[in-house]
Amino acid sequence: MHIPDGFLSIGVIVVCWVLSIIGIGFALARTRKALGERQVPVMGVLAAFIFAAQMLNFTIAGGTSGHFLGAALAAILLGPWAAMLTMTTVVAIQALLFQDGGLLALGANILNMAVIGPIVAYGFYRGVRTLLGNRKGSLLVAGFVAAWVSIVVAAVACAIELGFSGTSPIGVALPAMAGIHALIGIGEGLITLGALALVAATRPDLIEAERAPAPAGMRWVWGGLAIAIALAL
């Protein structure tokens, strides 16, 4: 998922940087208005957890491996805007200090994992919560679905960027990335589910959707669906 330098064309790099900067700027503007004092330390703790979790790879079929993304967990606990900033910090530190992903490709990696990931995750999370209502287990089901969809959609975005760069034909990169990350998404969903179960049992007040007003939910549902469908097409 972390694209190294040399894999993307200049045009794709520029477009990804522009989209990432727009997304981060919008997130900064929104969090400046809505970020609560309790969320600031949670952002730090969650960033540290996601950073550490992303360093651990788990083996998939055929000798491939994957790692936890964390976009859904961040979006559910912090809301989409604060989640975008948290994920951006994690992805940037990994690139700058650990060379996990290239510096020129950092815009693409931020776009995939820190912008698209949280937006799609939050949209699907709110959609499933709206569909299931207050039924027992709705939080965990919604968290699993959001985590699975977000990592697959982020992988699809990565494949499209590689395809447009000429690194790999889209017809090859797309099914390969989507297929592998559909399996990785199961692990992503289970980790997210377990983390949410722990938070719900100990600090339910930290779950963002329990504090957010319900009417705004459908906008995120349609937004997440729109991004997923656009990338699929």
Tens-place pLDDT, residues 75-87: 999 999 999 999 9
Q: Which comes out higher in pLDDT, residue 223 or 36?
A: 36
Closest CA to 227 of 108, 96, 120: 120
Q: What angle do CA 26, 181, 54 make, to 5 degrees?
A: 65
For residue 37, pLDDT over 90 is answered with no
Average pLDDT over residues 207-211: 58
The answer to pTM > 0.75 is yes
Does residue 155 contact residue 67 with C-beta atoms inside 8 Å? Answer: no
| Main-chain phi, psi angles of 131, to 5 degrees | -65, -45
- In CATH, which of 1.10.3470.10, 1.10.287.810, 1.10.1760.20, 1.10.3720.10 is domain 10-232? 1.10.1760.20
Q: Which comes out higher in pLDDT, residue 79 or 223?
A: 79
State the pLDDT confidence band at 213, using cuts at 50, 70 and 90. Answer: very low
Q: How much is the pLDDT for 206?
A: 82
Average pLDDT over residues 177-192: 92
Closest CA to 179 of 190, 191, 171, 189: 171
State the pLDDT confidence band at 65, using cuts at 50, 70 and 90. Answer: low
CA distances from 104 to 12, 125, 185 (A): 10, 32, 27
Which of 111-115, 126-130, 133-137 has maximum average pLDDT? 111-115
For residue 54, pLDDT over 50 is answered with yes
| Main-chain phi, psi angles of 58, to 5 degrees | -120, 145
**9: region left, alpha or beta (phi > 0 left; psi from -120 to 50 alpha):** beta
Average pLDDT over residues 102-107: 96
d(CA 194, CA 203): 14
Helix (H, G, I), strand (E, B) or coil at 69: coil
d(CA 42, CA 35): 11
Q: How much is the pLDDT for 23?
A: 96
Q: Which comes out higher in pLDDT, residue 160 or 66?
A: 160
CA distances from 34 to 14, 79, 131, 216 (A): 30, 10, 26, 14
Q: How much is the pLDDT for 70?
A: 94
For residue 109, pLDDT over 50 is answered with yes
d(CA 67, CA 154): 13
Q: How much is the pLDDT for 212?
A: 46
Which of 197-206, 212-221, 222-231 has maximum average pLDDT? 197-206
Q: Which comes out higher in pLDDT, residue 232 or 109?
A: 109
d(CA 151, CA 156): 9
